[in-house]
Structure 1
Amino acid sequence: MSLPGWKERDARLSRRLGWGWPEEPLLDALNLSPTARVLDVGAADGRLLRALKARGHEGGVFGLDPEPGFGIQRGVAERLPFPAASFDAVLLVRVLAHLPGPARALAEARRVLRPGGQLVVAAQGDWHLARLRGLGGAPSEPPSPPTEADLFFPVVLMPEDVRVLAASYGVSLGGRDLTPSLTDTLHLRVEVERR
């Protein structure tokens, strides 16, 4: 069995959650102005921007990624190819941990943000699939306290979900006999900075 990438993991979690993970919960929480100019840095295949447009968003939406999907511009977070003060919202969703220069990426995001705009940084938090990771013997350190903007959702994982997700996160189940289902938590740590 080949290990699923982020698309397959997100699709599996979306099926179990009943809506698009993490785009739909994040967009619900952000409540962006329908006319905001939005930049998604690390947009990949543009799912978040498509979800925003599907909600009737009328403002300009732009995506940037080093390996872009259709309709997404090629580029890197550390050198945004946009003039200063170009966007009402800049989103970095599950991307900072993958960058060689996260501080530079944040500085660039702030540079292209208009006064009064919002910078949104979201990443999987400590509670994300903690029970699943615990099956593999992950240390049970106390999770960091959530922010006011953090998003938590219970999810029920079937044995096949547990096997596939554990493998994709590098969690060894060691031949463990899985229960019929595992109730876990999806956690998106969200920090919003207003300029």
Structure 2
Amino acid sequence: MTPGGWQERDARLSRRLGRSWPHGPLLTALPLSPTARVLDVGAGDRQLLQALRARGHPGGLFGIDPEPGEGVRRGVAEQLPFPDTSFDTVLLVRVLAHLHDPARALAEARRVLRPGGQLVVAAQGEWHLARLRSLGGPPWEPPAPPTEADLLFPVVLTPEDVRALAASHDLSLGEWDLTSPLTDTLHLRVEVKRR
């Protein structure tokens, strides 16, 4: 995927969903205390934290990323530059699959959590754009059923969306008829663990 490709893809999906994907649905689903100190690991350009602040969250918001944007501290998930028990909530949103040592990152996230704090891990699930990913391949079959904590949202993709999203995923559409909209699903698998 080209640099910035995921931001363009998220912006397109947000337009179709009618709210910020995946931050809007995730923040709506999370039980965050209004005064929680929150660390976003893999914060990038701080979009998730900005969305949280826009919702009126008055608590401390911190971000860390190897290639940080403005207001985000430089660092890696496997070695968080914070003391033990520093945060009420640690967020790892679409991060673990990109790390060299996910187990070490999870251990670090637990280390910086206060007792009773929550670790939130979210990643694209099997249903995420499953119909789109099946175009030009074998017939679409529904993936395994989602879990109770999963966030699923139907989305209607225009033919232009289908072409752009397929290109962003390096998918070949073959001879697929792109004259009709495609109904698909956005899927965020969410796991919340208490320390």
TM-score range, shorter chain: over 0.9
Alignment correspondent of 2:14 = 14
Q: Which runs of 4+ in 1 moved over 6 A?
A: none
Specify the SS of the correspondent of 2:137.
Answer: coil
1:82-121 to structure 2, matched below 5 A, reads 82-121=82-121
CA contact (8 A) 1:147 1:191 kept: no
Q: Structure 2: 5+ residue runs without aligned partners? A: none
SS in 1 for 2:79: coil
Trace 1:124-163 onto structure 2 (pairs within 5 A): 124-137=124-137, 143-163=143-163
CA deviation digits over 1:123-166, x for unaligned, max 9? 00000000001103168576334222110000000001000101
Deviations 1:83-140 (A, max 9, x none): 0000000000000000000000000000000110100000000000000011031685
Say if 1:139 and 1:43 are closer, same or farther in 2 by CA, change over 3 A: farther
**Partner residue, 1:189:** 189
Tell me whether 1:67 sits opposite 2:67 in the alignment. Answer: yes
2:76 is aligned to: 76
- Aligned partners of 2:107, 2:6: CA distance in 1, in Å? 26
Distance in structure 2 (CA, Å) of the matches to 1:59 and 1:138: 48
Question: Which runs of 5 or more residues in structure 1 are unaligned?
Answer: none
For residues 60 and 3 of structure 2, the distance between their equivalents in structure 1, rounded to whole angstroms, comes to: 35
Aligned residue type for 1:115: P
Contact 1:4 1:168 (C-alpha < 8 Å) held by counterparts: no
Q: Distance in 2 between matches of 1:105 and 1:138?
A: 36
CA distance in 1, matches of 2:130, 2:6: 17
* CA distance 1:117–1:161, change in 2 (3 Å): same
The one-letter amino acid of 2:47's match is R
- 1-structure distance, mates of 2:137, 2:54: 41
Q: Counterpart of 1:89 in 2: which secondary structure?
A: strand
C-alpha contact (below 8 Å) 1:85/1:112 kept by paired residues: yes
TM-score by structure 2 length? 0.95
Q: 1:172 to 1:120 in 2, by over 3 A?
A: same
Q: CA deviation at 1:180?
A: 1.9
Deviation at 1:4, TM superposition (A): 6.1
**Using the alignment, how far apart are the partners of 1:137 and 1:44 within structure 2?**
34
1:29 paired residue number: 29
The answer as to whether partners of 1:3 and 1:164 remain within 8 angstroms in 2 is no
Q: How far apart are 1:190 and its partner, in Å?
A: 0.4
Q: RMSD value over aligned CA atoms?
A: 1.6
8 Å Cα contact 1:3/1:167 also seen in 2: no
Contact 2:136 2:176 in 1 (8 A): no
Identity rate, percent: 78
Secondary structure of the 1:53 match is: helix
